[in-house]
Each structure stands twice: as C-alpha cells, then as structure tokens.
Amino acid sequence: VNHWLLKSEPDVFSIADLARRPGRSTGWEGVRNYQARNFMRDGMTVGDPAFFYHSSCPVPGIYGVVEVSRGAHPDPTQFDPTSDYHDPKSTPEAPRWVQVAVTLVDIWDEPLSLTTLRDTPALRDMAILQRGNRLSITPVTAAEWRAVLALRGRRTGR
C-alpha cells in the first residue's frame, strides 16, 4: 500500500464538497503537472489512503482522509473545450492527462494545520513541507503517515 497527500484549494473543491458527492466519491480531475500525473498513473492503486490537504485558505492543512477507489484513467475534462482544464493538444486517441477516483474515508473534527505539521520533527522530510513544493499530489511515507495520525485529536464519525 502506498500513501499519498492530495492538495486542493477549498474554494475550488473542498473535502466538504466531496462529502456531498454521490457515493462520497469524485474523479480527481484537473491535474496538469507531469510529475503528479505520473504518481497517479504509476503509483496509485485502489485502496491507497491519502490525506486531503486544503491550500490557499485561512488554515492550510490536512482536513481528512480519502482513499483511491479507481485507478488512473483519462481525465475527461482535457477533452472538454468548455472546461478550465481543457487541453487542446490532447486527444481521446492519445490522452495526455489521467485522473483517479477517490472516496471519502473521514473528515476530521479539526484540521492538522500546516503550522502543526511544521512543528513536528518526525515530518521534517515530508514533501508538502519542503521549500517551494507545488505538487498537488505527493507520496507520504508509512512513517509520516503514522506520525500524522499520531498528531490527531478527536475525530468525527464517517
């Protein structure tokens, strides 16, 4: 099992938005970075857990857990001229971008803020905390995964 962190701006798509989706699932569309795409294509398998991170918001941090519920497949928004994520250079015959589907596992009562993550020595090497990190999908080591869970306070139910 591999662990991941998925970053999203809550104004665009939040973990609460995910909770309202049918089946509490969504296609993780709109990834237009090759490194992040390759993580989905080559690394993510069904059942992999991932932290859901909110960026560009009052309290950046981890807000809950999702899991991969479908492996990489073409992101339909790349073919849609009306989509913000449209890529005119991509064709159904030679799709450039993929998405995975994720399903909500748990929304946390309180987020683990970026500040808290930064204050945790065990997370020093976590990808999201590295200088200049801009990847919307990053791997999380098993040790980092455990360390984050160990920081958690109360939780809400599923």
- Which residue in the set 105, 114, 147, 151 belongs to the binding site for DNA (CB under 7 A)? 114
- Taking the least distance from each CB to DNA, the nearer of 60 and 67 is 60
Total interface residues for DNA by CB under 7 A? 17
Judged by CB under 7 A, does residue 9 bind DNA? yes
Q: According to CB under 7 A, which one of 134, 153, 154, 158 is a site residue for DNA?
A: 134
Q: Which of 39, 62, 37 is closest to 51 using CA atoms?
A: 62
Nearest approach in angstroms of CB 101 to DNA is: 21
Residues 10-69 that bind DNA (CB under 7 A): 33-35, 55-57, 60
The helix (run of H) or strand (run of E) holding residue 114 is: helix 114-118
Angstrom distance (rounded) from CA 97 to CA 89: 11
Give long-range contacts, CB 8 A cutoff, 24+ apart: 86-93: 87/32
Q: State yes or no: residue 91 binds DNA (CB under 7 A).
A: no
* Among 129, 143, 132, 131, CA closest to 62: 129
Amino acid at 94: A
Which residues here bind DNA, judged by CB under 7 A?
7, 9, 33-35, 55-57, 60, 114-115, 131-136
